[in-house]
Amino acid sequence: MRIITHRGHKILAVDTSGLPSEEIATLHPILARTAIDHKINLVCNFINDSGLDFARRRSTRDAVARARTEVGRLHSAFIGLCGIRKLLANAIQKEHFYAADREEALDWLVKQAEKRR
């Protein structure tokens, strides 16, 4: 997890590629706390070959709810998600963007931030 800046906007970049679902679920409270502490509502998720199951969906939903309470609406872009995994992720949070690459994801996130100004 890193905080990056893209065109003047802070973005929480999270790479869980290859991690099992259980390990990812333990990261969600940390990610939520980081977003809250740094007032970041833009998240870029790199999730190639990562695990996805009920425990992870629940921890994601809980973390998103905590962060939304503090920083408002969250915008998330995903890289490496397709097929059934895309459908499952969409059940968690409706405001997703599924990008082909990092640059597309970051540009979309910045557009969302600039719409709110």
Question: Percentage of residues in the chain with pLDDT exceeding 90?
Answer: 39
Class of domain 2-115: alpha beta
Summarize pLDDT for 59-104 with one digit per residue, the tens.
777 887 888 888 888 898 989 877 777 777 767 666 678 888 999 9
What number is the average pLDDT over the span 7-12?
97
User: Taking all residues of the chain, what is their mean pLDDT, rounded to a whole number?
Assistant: 85
* Distant-in-sequence, close-in-space partners of 54: CB < 8 Å, separation ≥ 6: none
Q: How many CB atoms lie within 10 A of CB 109?
A: 25
Q: Which residue has the higher pLDDT, 55 or 19?
A: 19
Instruction: Delimit the domains of the chain by residue range.
Output: 2-115
Q: How far apart are CA 78 and CA 50, in angstroms?
A: 12
* pTM confidence score: 0.81
49: left (phi over 0), alpha (psi -120 to 50) or beta: left
